[in-house]
Amino acid sequence: MKTIDFHPEARAELLDAAEFYESRSPGLGGRFLDDVERGLTASSESPQTWPVLSGEIRRYLLRPFPYGLLFRDSTPQVLILAVMHLHREPGYWKARL
């Protein structure tokens, strides 16, 4: 299993999304974070499993939430570049490369 590292803006996106869901329904933010944790584990255990989005960037889709974890498999870690809402501004994260 590889270590996980977050781009600072990706960490902020994660926290913002969790706070948003928690404000909508108590406990929903926690369920979102649980789903993210499953995605982080899957991405770090077998990063090559997930489809390539662009270049070396791969995407793990969170279900049922409309978010994806965008990451790069970098030795010895997986770098999370974005916790991206799938229906907003595609490609905004490319400036983080």
Cα of 37 vs its chain's centroid, Å = 9
Output the domain CATH number for residue 78.
3.30.2310.20
Domain region containing 31: 3-86
Token digits of residue 78: 């997986």
96 domain-assigned: no
Q: What is the mean pLDDT of residues 2-27?
A: 97
30 domain-assigned: yes
Over the chain, what is the mean pLDDT?
A: 95
- The better pLDDT of the pair 76, 25 is held by 25
71 domain-assigned: yes
Task: Tell me the pLDDT tens digit for each residue of 85-95.
Answer: 999 888 888 88
Q: What is the mean pLDDT of residues 14-40?
A: 98
Token digits of residue 91: 């490609």
91 domain-assigned: no
Task: Tell me the pLDDT tens digit for each residue of 56-86.
Answer: 999 999 999 999 999 999 888 999 999 999 9
User: What pLDDT does residue 50 have?
Assistant: 95
Q: How many domains does the chain have?
A: 1
DSSP label at 71? E
For helices 8-24 and 28-45, what crossing angle results, to 10°?
A: 150
Query: 88 vs 32, 64, 79, 84, CA distance in Å?
Result: 18, 17, 21, 8
* Angle 76-67-69 from CA coordinates, rounded to 5°: 5
